[in-house]
Chain A
C-alpha cells in the first residue's frame, strides 16, 4: 500500500516569510495529492490539491509542486500570516482505488508576528 512521509514535523517562521513542507510517497500509481489544514479543535480542511498530470498548481499565496519521477510533492506558502498557523497534512491516493487517502504525519506550522 501507499506510504506518505512528511517533513518537517514542526516549522516556525516569521510573518511575511515563506514556508515549505515536503512529502514523499511510495506508490507510483498514486495520482491525486491533496493538502489539508487542521486548526485546533477542527477537522482537516482541504486547501489545495494536485493531480499527476500537472507539475504545479497555485492558489493565491499557496502553491503545490509535484515531481512524479522522484515521487515527492511540496506545499509552498508565501507571505505567511499568523492565521496560517495550523497543522498541515499531505496525502496521496490512486483515485480509482476509492479515495482511500494515506496521510502524512503532519507539520505544525507556527507563524510568529
Chain B
C-alpha cells in the first residue's frame, strides 16, 4: 500500500479482555516496528521484526504483550488481560531495511476501561 495501515484506529475494551492490533506495512519494507505513545510523550520502542523474525522484544513491558509477523508482512500486537495502564496510542512503523527511514502509521488508540 501507499502507507502504513493500522487497525482498528480506536479500540475501547474492558479491563481483563484481550486485544489484537494489526499493522500492514508498506509493501516491500523489510523491517517493522511497534512503538507505544502516551499522551504528551514521545514514542516508546516495544519490538521490531526483520521479515518474520522478531529481532528485539526488549521494549515489551511484560509477558502480557506479544507480537508476531508470521509471513514477513502484516504484524499483530496482542495484549492479553488488558489493564488500564495499557491505554495509549500504539504505533506501527516500517522501513525498507534495518538502517533506514521509519514511516509511521496513524496508530491505534487503545482505551481500557
Contacts and interface: CB of A to CB of B under 8 A. Distances in A.
Nearest to B46: A100
Contacts of A103: 42-44
A95 B101 CA distance: 11
Interface in B30-66: 31, 33, 40-45, 48, 55-56, 59
B102 interface: yes
Interface residues of B, number: 26
Given A46-B102, A98-B55, A89 B42 contact: yes
A34 B104 CA distance: 13
B44 A99 contact: no
Contacts, number: 59
A95 B99 contact: yes
B100 to A, nearest CB: 8
A44 B41 contact: no
B105 interface: yes
Interface of A: 4, 6, 32, 34, 36, 41-46, 49, 89, 91, 95-96, 98-106
A19 to B, nearest CB: 18
B42 A99 contact: no
Interface string B10-48: 000000000000000000000101000000111111001
Contacts of B110: none
Given A95-B99, A100-B56, A44 B43 contact: yes
Given A43-B4, A105-B41, A98 B105 contact: no
Contacts of B42: 4, 6, 89, 91, 103-106
Contacts of A49: 101
A62 to B, nearest CB: 15
B24 to A, nearest CB: 14
Interface string B73-105: 000000000000000000101010011111111
